[in-house]
Amino acid sequence: MNTIREILGKLSTMGKSGPVLDEPQRFLLLSIIIGIFSGLVVVCFHISIELLNWITIHSLAPGAKYLTPLWPAVGGVAAYLLVFFVVPTARGTGVNYTKTAVYASDGYIPFRSVLGKFATSTLSIGTGNPMGPEDPALQMGAGIASLLGRIFHLTRDHMRLIAPIGAAAGIGAAFNTPIAAVLFVMEEVMSAWNAGVLGSIVLSSVSAVVVSRWFLGDEVLYQVPEIEVGDYSELLLYAAIGAVGGWLSALFCRYSIMLRGRILKLRERRRLWLPAVAGLAVGIVGTYAPETLGAGYQVIDGALHDRFAWNLLLVLGLLKLLSTALCFGCGTPGGLFAPTLFVGAMLGGGLAGLAQLVWPLSTSSVAAYVLVGIGVFFAGVFRAPMTSVFMVFELSASYVVILPVMIANTIAILVSRRLEHDSVFQMAAYQDGLDLPSIEDRRETPALNVEDAMQRTRDLVVSDRISVAEALKTIESSDADALLVEVRYGQWRWVGKRELERAKDNGDEDSSLHKTMKMWPVVRTYPDLPLDQALRKLAIYPALPVTSRVNPSFLLGTLTLADVHRAYGITRQEPKAEASSVRPSSA
């Protein structure tokens, strides 16, 4: 016992030479703990959904199939009532909830929302509603991470990072694809490629997947058969699937969000029964097409194994699309991840079958088209290109299909984006009154670099042999507060306007700078560096020499705070001095 206490003590407190684990290491350790907890909760979540599914839909006697519509209706309304009266924080999409936590509430996610998501999504998905468990799992992971962050009294900066770490763990455990989970969190939740937190996200995702596999086995979601991709001319077919998938995903986003918007305008009490109505409709469809009920992983598995005819695939895809849009619009708890994959798989397989009728030379296996379809629809709805490609890669464990997937997904995103500017999560966020950042927004507003602000002149650079009067004249002709003095080739120092004026007042007007003035060292900057980094330097130095990376002694220009202001449009004042070409300084 004492030994354990000692170990814990070493892990958490400092010894004589400081803490055993420094802050980044402790953060990584916490990431593993988050991964393990999230994995455990997601395993329970998965089992609960399965058990409820067995008790309800699977246990119906062959003669009692007419009861099928009742279960999704009962599950939907029970889940919604729970959200309405007990856990309102379990409402909405997990991605947006987590993003809100990251960007608006310092990573705070109430643990009650984890319990709420668990219960409501189990009720909804377990009774056959066509939603997926991944999005709730993501929110549960983020909620667990947030709780642990609070327990460990993390700082605000780290609290903001902790929710995405949990989100990756949740989605990784739910979908059994650690890489795709990491990428999805980067693209959808963080909306940025943050190298600082990548290690933690990977660790939590991997530990969650390990826990999930520990308890549920190494079973992958789909048994992907051996894939063959035929002639390269078939890439045209894949491109066509990408275009159709992109178009369909844009329609799905538009109309499901439109329906959601109309329903949100209804009075809250009236909305209570809509999940029941949606569930009833889903159940009626499910009576005739039971494949559309629930998350539908087994149906995708069947499509991969060529179980369905192409026309049946298209019908199933369409029915799932409609029932998912209806449930999503009506607020039935659950995620869009699994239904999106389902629709994509059916679309890919169906279109491949249809194309093979008119183009019998097609030799790729159906599984290849199904996988491409999965990636296409996912990419179109969520606008997460990297995730969509790597997810297919992880699912198929085959490199063969990557090229068609990349082509088709890119086309799908382009088409979908052309028709609908925002992803489904963004549209839902706007509808909920949230303005959350997306990776696409960030891409559209590129960061400014030093080269966008620097003056490509030597107007602020003088030799240390000139007189104080000349230096003053130079500085007065500019809007700068300091000059860069070249003391030797490739070495600059700075001198301030005030010091020059003081020297003039002291009667040293005609003395040269190197004899009279005390000059301060300055650091270089480079044209490709972000302005943010240069600004940090400008807090210390009034002017910076911008030099070439291949020859750091060669001056390309100068940068001052005024230049930065101009680059950001804060001042519209043009530099007073006439621009003169930069000359290499003499030794």
Asked if residues 541 and 535 have their Cβ atoms less than 8 Å apart, the reply is no
**Should residue 55 be labelled a site residue for other proteins when binding is judged by CB under 8 A?**
no
Tokens of 489: 């080739």
Least distance to other proteins, CB of residue 368, Å: 12
CA distance 91 to 121: 10
Which of 117, 158, 320, 493 binds other proteins (CB under 8 A)? It is 158
**Residue 154 or 582: which CB sits closer to other proteins?**
154
CA distance 136 to 142: 10
**Should residue 157 be labelled a site residue for other proteins when binding is judged by CB under 8 A?**
yes
HSE-CB of 561 using CA atoms within 13 angstroms: 10
* Strands 461-463, 482-488: pairing kind: parallel
Q: Report how far apart, in Å, the C-alpha atoms of 271 and of each of 116, 327, 330, 519 are.
A: 19, 12, 7, 72
Least distance to other proteins, CB of residue 154, Å: 7
**Should residue 16 be labelled a site residue for other proteins when binding is judged by CB under 8 A?**
no
Question: 């043009």: which residue's tokens?
Answer: 574
- Whose CA is closest to 116, among 146, 70, 85, 76? 85
**Residue 395 or 439: which CB sits closer to other proteins?**
395
Q: Report how far apart, in Å, the C-alpha atoms of 71 and of each of 51, 67, 74, 325, 342 are.
A: 14, 7, 5, 19, 21
**Residue 159 or 567: which CB sits closer to other proteins?**
159
Cα R_g (the chain), whole angstroms: 30
**Residue 55 or 264: which CB sits closer to other proteins?**
55
**Residue 212 or 426: which CB sits closer to other proteins?**
212
**Residue 215 or 554: which CB sits closer to other proteins?**
215
Which range, of 112-120, 144-152, 438-446, 509-517, touches other proteins by CB under 8 A? 144-152
Q: Report how far apart, in Å, the C-alpha atoms of 346 and of each of 106, 137, 262 are.
A: 40, 24, 29
**Should residue 12 be labelled a site residue for other proteins when binding is judged by CB under 8 A?**
yes
**Should residue 217 be labelled a site residue for other proteins when binding is judged by CB under 8 A?**
yes
**Residue 123 or 253: which CB sits closer to other proteins?**
123
**Should residue 291 be labelled a site residue for other proteins when binding is judged by CB under 8 A?**
no
**Residue 84 or 152: which CB sits closer to other proteins?**
152
**Should residue 369 be labelled a site residue for other proteins when binding is judged by CB under 8 A?**
no
**Should residue 506 be labelled a site residue for other proteins when binding is judged by CB under 8 A?**
no
**Should residue 51 be labelled a site residue for other proteins when binding is judged by CB under 8 A?**
yes
**Residue 305 or 514: which CB sits closer to other proteins?**
305
- Whose CA is closest to 562, among 466, 475, 445? 475
Which residues are paired to 467 by β-bridges?
A: 512
Residue 463's SS3 state is strand
CA distance 9 to 401: 51
How many chain residues touch other proteins (CB under 8 A)?
51
* 445-464 binders of other proteins (CB under 8 A): none
Least distance to other proteins, CB of residue 420, Å: 36
**Should residue 305 be labelled a site residue for other proteins when binding is judged by CB under 8 A?**
yes
Residue 467's SS3 state is strand
**Should residue 108 be labelled a site residue for other proteins when binding is judged by CB under 8 A?**
no
Which range, of 215-223, 260-268, 421-429, 486-494, touches other proteins by CB under 8 A? 215-223
Which of 206, 367, 401, 543 binds other proteins (CB under 8 A)? It is 367
Q: Which letter does DSSP use for residue 68 in this model?
A: T
Q: Which letter does DSSP use for residue 335 in this model?
A: B
**Should residue 41 be labelled a site residue for other proteins when binding is judged by CB under 8 A?**
yes
CA distance 410 to 264: 33
Which of 44, 487, 529, 535 binds other proteins (CB under 8 A)? It is 44
**Should residue 152 be labelled a site residue for other proteins when binding is judged by CB under 8 A?**
yes
Which range, of 35-43, 311-319, 322-330, 574-582, touches other proteins by CB under 8 A? 35-43
CA distance 462 to 127: 78
**Residue 126 or 527: which CB sits closer to other proteins?**
126
Please report how the helices 235-264 and 402-419 are oriented relative to each other, as an axis angle in degrees rounded to 10: 40
**Residue 276 or 299: which CB sits closer to other proteins?**
299
Asked if residues 297 and 133 have their Cβ atoms less than 8 Å apart, the reply is no
**Distinct helix (H) and strand (E) counts, the chain:** 25, 8
**Should residue 345 be labelled a site residue for other proteins when binding is judged by CB under 8 A?**
no
**Should residue 22 be labelled a site residue for other proteins when binding is judged by CB under 8 A?**
yes
Give alpha helix (H) positions in 265-296.
268-271, 274-288
Which of 3, 226, 265, 574 binds other proteins (CB under 8 A)? It is 226
Which of 108, 215, 255, 430 binds other proteins (CB under 8 A)? It is 215
Asked if residues 395 and 338 have their Cβ atoms less than 8 Å apart, the reply is no
Kindly tell me the sign of the dihedral angle through the C-alpha atoms of 505, 507, 513, 514.
negative
Which of 78, 131, 137, 304 binds other proteins (CB under 8 A)? It is 304
Contacts with other proteins, residue ranges (CB under 8 A): 4-5, 8-9, 11-14, 18-19, 22-23, 26, 33, 36-37, 40-41, 43-44, 47, 50-51, 54, 58, 148, 151-158, 215-219, 223, 225-226, 298, 301-302, 304-307, 366-367
